[in-house]
Structure 1
Amino acid sequence: MSVKSLPLTDELHEYLVAHGSPPDEIVRELVEETRAALPAEAQMQVAPEQAALLTFLARLVGARQAVEVGTFTGLSSLAIARGLADGGRLTCFDISAEYTSVARRYWARAGVDDRIELRIGPAADGLHDLPHERYLDFAFIDADKVGYPVYWSELVPRMRPGGLIAVDNVLRDGRVLAPQDEADRAIAAFNDEVLVDVRVDLVMLPVADGLTLARVR
């Protein structure tokens, strides 16, 4: 028994991934292409165990209406789309047509492209234009860190009671303890703000670079 999460060696991480829902061929090839074509940006892609968790969470809440803020090359959106209930829809917001062109190819290969609507442009504007009602079942935030408070403020009022928001990179590789740049400071402040948000129940998990799960009341 451990009083805190175990540190993950490379070998233990491989074991963890293999004993969850291991990546299939499409996921493996998407990860490999992203790392080969975009080596400087590949760290923006979610970890394989995180992708499996997103699918699991979407299924757990029976998500039919979902939103993703920050799509990159599409691994997280692919994972969420695979977890949607029959007839479910995922709306993705991203500013890069280049990165998301990769996503589109893999969505099609996985047969989930008919469930996903991609909107290119500032996410804050796109979220603001969504229906002003509590209809969203699931949301995933993984975009520019300074924008997190805006994305949160737009999403929470649109989540149904019991809806789930997952927020990535909340530990900033440990730098939330001693922020070094604007993004670190933004996440540290965001973490403090959501902790006292009475509209949600939340837990922060040491998954990948830190993942906050917030259940809307």
Structure 2
Amino acid sequence: MVEHAAEPAWVEVEQYLTDVVVGPDPAHQRALESAVQAGMPPIEVAPTAGKLLKLLVQLSGARRILEIGTLAGFSSIWMAQGLPDDGRLVTCEYLRKHADVARANVDAAGVGHKVEIRVGAALDTLPTLAAEESFDFVFIDADKENDANYLDWAIRLGHPGTVIVMDNVIWDGAILEPERDEVNAPGIIRALDMLGQDPRLDSTAIQTVGSKGWDGFALARVR
């Protein structure tokens, strides 16, 4: 398995940018602390990435967001804060105990009225959304084995112009050495191939460093 080690300087710079540029509010800190208290793995996005998601939601004019992978609701809060008051975020979480923590966090952040948490395997939940209004923005941050499946559903549940963000696409460089993580790396590679080859998408990918180690995200637009 890949170890996502972070250089001290990466963490220091990220903290500096968080403090000086991003300025998280108490609701974000509460979500982080609740995740630790609940014994969740520290795999939520960094505050700098959370703010990026919020800005992308606002820049795209999104009113309906789909999130795949909720955890404690940290990224959910950021994105919901970017929605208009009558906007809607549907987030899929596999574990009930995580969903309960996230519910408390989005409510405490004052965005609970915008957020619906659906519990269960996302590949079971996503087909049930097909009869609903399409999504303007999709954030994928769940089990990497199913990244390509999630990406396909993001396209199907979206519309021309829908923005898709997929996290963890570099995976400490394991996309070049998939034998280092035979569980996650192949799924990420399949998704990257799809991002580059699927005629329904126009895509790019950005590598990053920070408290989460060497990683990155993909950004796509449905044609």
**TM-score, normalised via structure 1 length:** 0.89
Listed one character per residue, the Cα deviations across residues 117-151 of structure 1 (whole Å, up to 9, x for unaligned) are: 11111111211121358721000001111111111
- Residue 177 of structure 1: aligned partner: 176
Measure the CA separation in 2 of the matches of 1:72 and 1:125.
18
Listed one character per residue, the Cα deviations across residues 47-96 of structure 1 (whole Å, up to 9, x for unaligned) are: 11111111111111111111000101110111111111231111111111
Measure the CA separation in 1 of the matches of 2:67 and 2:55.
16
- Residue 93 of structure 2: aligned partner: 94
Measure the CA separation in 2 of the matches of 1:206 and 1:36.
30
Task: Output the amino acid matched with 1:56.
Answer: L
Measure the CA separation in 2 of the matches of 1:136 and 1:216.
11
Answer with 145-154 or 69-78: which moved more: 145-154
Measure the CA separation in 2 of the matches of 1:70 and 1:138.
14
- Residue 114 of structure 2: aligned partner: 115
- Residue 73 of structure 1: aligned partner: 72
Measure the CA separation in 1 of the matches of 2:45 and 2:101.
15
The secondary structure found in structure 2 opposite 1:19 is helix
Measure the CA separation in 2 of the matches of 1:158 and 1:45.
24
Alpha carbons 2:148, 2:190 under 8 Å: kept: no
- Residue 23 of structure 1: aligned partner: 24
- Residue 3 of structure 1: aligned partner: none
Measure the CA separation in 2 of the matches of 1:158 and 1:97.
24
Q: CA deviation at 1:172?
A: 1.0
Pairing 1:161-200 to 2, within 5 Å after superposition: 161-179=160-178, 180=180, 181-200=182-201
Alpha carbons 2:167, 2:216 under 8 Å: kept: yes
Measure the CA separation in 2 of the matches of 1:124 and 1:205.
26
Q: CA deviation at 1:10?
A: 2.5
Q: CA deviation at 1:109?
A: 0.9
Paired residues in the alignment total 209
Listed one character per residue, the Cα deviations across residues 23-54 of structure 1 (whole Å, up to 9, x for unaligned) are: 11121222133234426x11x21111111111
Measure the CA separation in 1 of the matches of 2:13 and 2:80.
28
- Between the two proteins, what is the percent identity of the paired residues? 36
Q: CA deviation at 1:178?
A: 0.7
Listed one character per residue, the Cα deviations across residues 137-169 of structure 1 (whole Å, up to 9, x for unaligned) are: 000001111111111111202212211000011
Q: Which residues of structure 1 form unaligned runs of 5+?
A: 1-6
- Residue 11 of structure 2: aligned partner: 10
Q: 1:132 to 1:194 in 2, by over 3 A?
A: farther
- Residue 151 of structure 1: aligned partner: 150
Q: 1:112 to 1:187 in 2, by over 3 A?
A: same
**1:213 aligned onto 2:219:** yes
Alpha carbons 2:76, 2:91 under 8 Å: kept: yes
**TM-score, normalised via structure 2 length:** 0.87
Task: Output the amino acid matched with 1:24.
Answer: D
The secondary structure found in structure 2 opposite 1:167 is strand
